[in-house]
């Protein structure tokens, strides 16, 4: 079964790809062996992240249109933190892009995080590798920038696009902590709003203060709902991807992914909530010792 599944994926069969993703999500027996047989692939992954409602999906929708017009094949993975269910389904109106569901060159899949708090998706690395086995030109991963997921996407995406909207000036300040470091590209979407130019200027000046890298983080303006600024964004993404081929980022990225895979395996079956309950039960025992307690988990793995 697995071998013919892989062959079909490589040939570009979307049904086979969708099925394989489900098998990996559900850790169906044999999936690890299957993953170990995936071919080496270097299709770029573009991460799109940013606060809820910034227009990420609208932007992805417009990008798909731009690339499809150039004859490209696109995969989109949307990570949905809000759904506690693993429906693997198209989750209501959070996902726009409806016009693309049936397009032969576009594959769209929504992945629920299954309550893995702050995380992207327990198998996102495996799933993106799997998608890379199919003949796409570009893979987009959309995540809502909440908590840790924006940090994790850095290890996942070759190019991380951070989407923000022009709001009150001080939002640039609060955003600074998390999003500044991870962005390869900033998009100020909803530039139809007043004061967007001031916002862009503030953002640029803030970035230039902290910048000591060769690749200065570009700030682009878009109005995704009118498909404005899309070709500029596609060009900026392509430029960044040329840049990283000649940099060490690829090696760094793979190191991050391997590190996460090792961590995931080592932490398998260890749940913080279970630890909390065990501590609650044992904390008043006279013999309670933090190190002995922790060692039980180390020994078990
Ligand atoms: N005025 C304006 N509205 C926009 C623009 N881009 C998107 N929107 C609207 O903003 C709302 C949210 O857009 P989405 O694309 O769903 O935003 P998102 O970031 O994907 O949202 P989540 O996935 O829920 O975090 C929608 O009503 C869009 O029509 C824009 O450039 N200008
Ligand atoms: Mg969205």
The predicted pLDDT at position 86 comes to 40
The pLDDT value recorded for residue 89 is 44
Q: How far is the CA of 119 from the centre of ligand 1 (A)?
A: 23
Mean pLDDT by 10 residues, the chain (301 residues): 93 96 93 94 90 90 96 92 47 63 92 60 89 96 69 80 79 62 90 90 80 74 96 96 82 88 84 90 93 85 55
- Interatomic CA distance for residues 158 and 163, integer angstroms: 16
Q: Which CATH number is associated with domain 40-266?
A: 3.40.50.300
> Given this model, what pLDDT does residue 14 score?
96
pTM: 0.86
Protein residue closest via CA to atom 7 of ligand 1 = 55
How far does the centroid of ligand 1 lie from the alpha carbon of residue 238, in Å?
24
What is the pLDDT at residue 171? 59
State the sign of the Cα–Cα–Cα–Cα dihedral 105, 62, 110, 96. Answer: negative
pLDDT, position 84: 46
CA of 288 to the centre of ligand 2 (A): 47
Query: What ranges do the domains of the chain cover?
Result: 40-266, 272-301
**What is the pLDDT at residue 265?**
84
Which atom of ligand 1 lies nearest, measured to the CA of 193?
1
Alpha helices in 48-138 (DSSP H): 56-69, 124-132
Q: Which parts of 87-192 are beta strand (E)?
A: 106-112, 138-142, 159-164, 185-188
The per-residue pLDDT for 210 is 65
Return the SS3 of 82: coil
Residue nearest to atom 14 of ligand 1 (CA): 55
* Angle in degrees, CA 203, 204, 205, rounded to 5: 95
Binding-site residues, ligand 1, Cβ < 6 A = 52-58, 94, 96, 144, 189-190, 192, 223-225
């Amino acid at each position: 079964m697995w071998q013919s599944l892989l062959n079909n994926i490589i040939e570009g069969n979307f049904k086979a790809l969708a099925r394989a993703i489900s098998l990996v999500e559900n850790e169906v027996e044999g999936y690890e062996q299957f993953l170990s047989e995936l071919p080496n692939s270097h299709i770029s992954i573009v991460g799109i992240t940013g606060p809820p409602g910034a227009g990420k999906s609208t932007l992805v929708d417009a990008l798909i249109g731009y690339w499809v017009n150039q004859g490209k094949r696109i995969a989109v993975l949307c990570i949905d933190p809000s759904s506690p269910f693993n429906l693997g389904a198209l989750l209501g109106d959070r996902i726009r892009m409806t016009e693309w569901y049936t397009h032969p060159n576009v594959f769209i899949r929504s992945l629920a995080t299954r309550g893995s708090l702050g995380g992207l998706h327990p198998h996102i690395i495996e799933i993106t590798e799997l998608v890379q086995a199919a003949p796409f030109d570009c893979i987009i991963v959309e995540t809502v920038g909440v908590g840790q997921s924006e940090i994790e996407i850095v290890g996942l995406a070759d190019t991380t696009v951070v989407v923000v909207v022009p709001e009150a000036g001080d939002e640039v300040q609060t955003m600074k902590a998390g999003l500044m470091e991870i962005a390869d590209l900033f998009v100020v979407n909803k530039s139809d709003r007043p004061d967007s130019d001031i916002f862009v200027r503030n953002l640029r000046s803030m970035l230039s203060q902290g910048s000591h890298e060769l690749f200065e983080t570009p700030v682009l303006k878009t109005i995704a709902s009118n498909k404005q600024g899309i070709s500029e964004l596609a060009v900026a993404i392509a430029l960044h991807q040329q840049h990283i081929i000649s940099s060490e980022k690829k090696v760094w990225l793979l190191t991050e992914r391997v590190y996460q895979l090792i961590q995931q395996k080592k932490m398998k079956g260890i749940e913080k909530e279970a630890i909390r309950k065990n501590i609650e039960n044992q904390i008043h025992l006279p013999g309670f010792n933090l190190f002995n307690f922790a060692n039980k988990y180390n020994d078990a793995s």
